[in-house]
Amino acid sequence: MASLEVKREKSIIEIGPERFPLGSNKVGIIAGPCAVESREQLMASARAVKKAGCIGLRGGAFKPRTSPYSFQGMGEEGLKLLAEAREETGLAVVTEVIGLEQVEVVAKYADVLQVGARNMQHYPLLEALGKVDKPVLLKRGMSARLDEFLLAAEYIISAGNGKVILCERGIRTFEEYVRNTLPLTAVAELNDKTHLPVIVDPSHGTGHAHLVPSMSTAAVAAGADGLIIECHPDPEHATSDGAQSITPASLDKLMKRLKRVAQAI
């Protein structure tokens, strides 16, 4: 059902209160911290993200951390802060759902429900999201092939929700100078195979803030419909993923560059 052979024209998925048409010829940028940490941190992020010209605010309230001893997120409190940020800025709220038991509460507050790389093959979760009437941002598993990625999208679509946004966030390779290897060929290949919007996460895709601007521009030039970027008002003190989070000043500069790239292609 995700195939271009079944549906020939690109699917446009409207997101957020301002109904940004992801999948149209406009490029939609979502940015924000890895995790919601406090009202102060989230509101500062939301204002910066809005001012830079982004269409969505990201921020995890439920965090899938590698260590059970790391900060696990603010839970529903974090979701409430995200909703407050949407009220103030009009940005679409994008936040992760990590388990079946949270689908309802995340769907209550979010505009787009994110499935993380670690959950790409959590089939009961994908089926449950097929019953939700909101867009789902599905991240590619760190060891998943593209055919497996597309079949994960089929789980959501065949369960009733066609609003699936695919997100390339890098895969695990032998390489060590990056957290993940970001295969931008996936953007071109997915655009050739599926009508679903395709976005790129250059933050998890590299692991380093200094690599984010170049990979963002490259992703847009390769045909991505959007980006999801980690941006933190104080990256050095972020509770998670500070090393790959860009500052609001760097986001501003990047947005101007992306505008020029989008116009040129």
Binding stretches for ligand PEP (CB under 6 A): 34, 60, 64, 116-118, 139, 169, 201, 204
> What are the start-end ranges of the E strands in the chain?
13-15, 20-22, 28-32, 56-58, 92-96, 112-115, 136-139, 164-168, 198-200, 226-230
* Binding pattern for the stretch 17-36 against Mn ion, x by CB under 5 A and - elsewhere: -----------------x--
116 binds, among Mn ion, ligand PEP, none (CB under 5 to 8 A by kind): ligand PEP
Q: Are strands 13-15 and 20-22 parallel, antiparallel or unpaired?
A: antiparallel
Residue with smaller CB distance to Mn ion, 34 or 165: 34
Supply 97's token pair.
């759902």
Position 216: which residue type? Answer: S
39 binds, among Mn ion, ligand PEP, none (CB under 5 to 8 A by kind): none
201 binds Mn ion per the rule CB under 5 A:
no
Q: Where are the alpha helices (DSSP H) in 110-223?
A: 123-129, 146-158, 185-193, 212-221
Which residues 108-167 are close enough to bind Mn ion by CB under 5 A?
Answer: none
Residue with smaller CB distance to ligand PEP, 12 or 234: 234
**Residue 62 beta carbon to ligand PEP: minimum distance, rounded to whole angstroms:** 10
Give dist(CA 115, CA 141) in Å, integer: 10
Q: Which of 182, 178, 201, 117 is nearest to 152 (CA)?
A: 117
Residue with smaller CB distance to ligand PEP, 10 or 118: 118
Residue with smaller CB distance to ligand PEP, 52 or 61: 61
Number of chain residues interacting with Mn ion (CB under 5 A): 2
**Residue 240 beta carbon to Mn ion: minimum distance, rounded to whole angstroms:** 6
Q: Which stretch binds Mn ion (CB under 5 A): 72-80, 84-92, 114-122, 233-241?
A: 233-241
Closest residue by beta carbon to Mn ion = 34
Position 64: which residue type? Answer: P
**Residue 34 beta carbon to Mn ion: minimum distance, rounded to whole angstroms:** 3
Q: Which of 84, 133, 125 is nearest to 103 (CA)?
A: 125
CB 22 within 8 A of CB 226: yes
How many C-beta atoms surround the C-beta of residue 85 within 10 A? 24
171 binds, among Mn ion, ligand PEP, none (CB under 5 to 8 A by kind): none
Considering only 96, 168, 201, 241, the residue that binds Mn ion (CB under 5 A) is 241
For Mn ion, the binding residues (CB under 5 A) are 34, 241
